[in-house]
Amino acid sequence: KNQVEQSPQSLIILEGKNCTLQCNYTVSPFSNLRWYKQDTGRGPVSLTIMTFSENTKSNGRYTATLDADTKQSSLHITASQLSDSASYICVVSARGLLGAGSYQLTFGKGTKLSVIP
C-alpha cells in the first residue's frame, strides 16, 4: 500500500530560526514528490517538485531534498518568517496503475508549523 509519513506532526519555532520537515514514503512506481504549503482556511499550494534524478531544489528560503534510495525527502526553511506558519504537506505521485489516463497522488498528513515572534 502506498504511504507517505511526515514528521514531526507539529512544530513551533521562533521567528528567524531554521527548521527541517521530514517525509518518508513507500510509493511505487515513483513519479515525483511535491511539497505543498496550506495556509489556514485555504487549499494547498505547491512549493516545489522533485523528480527521481533530483537531489536538491531551492525556492527562495525553502530547500527540498530527495533521497530516492532511502525514499526520504526533507523541506528546510531558512530564516523563518511569521508568514511561514502553515501546514506543509508532502505529496508523492505514482505513475498510472489503472491503464492509460490513470493517476495516483498519495498525501502525507502534514506538519503544522507555527512561527512565533
Partner 1 sequence: DAGVIQSPRHEVTEMGQEVTLRCKPISGHDYLFWYRQTMMRGLELLIYFNNNVPIDDSGMPEDRFSAKMPNASFSTLKIQPSEPRDSAVYFCASISPFGDLGTEAFFGQGTRLTVV
The H or E element containing residue 7 is: strand 3-7
Question: Residue 113, interface with partner 1 (CB under 8 A)?
Answer: no
Question: Residue 49, interface with partner 1 (CB under 8 A)?
Answer: yes
The H or E element containing residue 36 is: strand 30-38
Q: Is the peptide bond before 117 cis (omega within 30 degrees of 0)?
A: no
Among 24, 31, 72, 85, binds partner 1 (CB under 8 A): 31
Q: For Cα atoms 88, 90, 91, give the angle at the middle one, nearest 5 degrees.
A: 135
Question: Residue 107, interface with partner 1 (CB under 8 A)?
Answer: yes
Taking the C-alpha atoms of residue 35 and residue 57, their distance in angstroms, rounded to an integer, is: 11
Question: Residue 2, interface with partner 1 (CB under 8 A)?
Answer: no
Between 66 and 110, CB nearer to partner 1: 110
Binding residues for partner 1, per CB under 8 A? Answer: 31-32, 34, 41-46, 49, 89, 91, 93, 95-96, 98, 101-105, 107-110
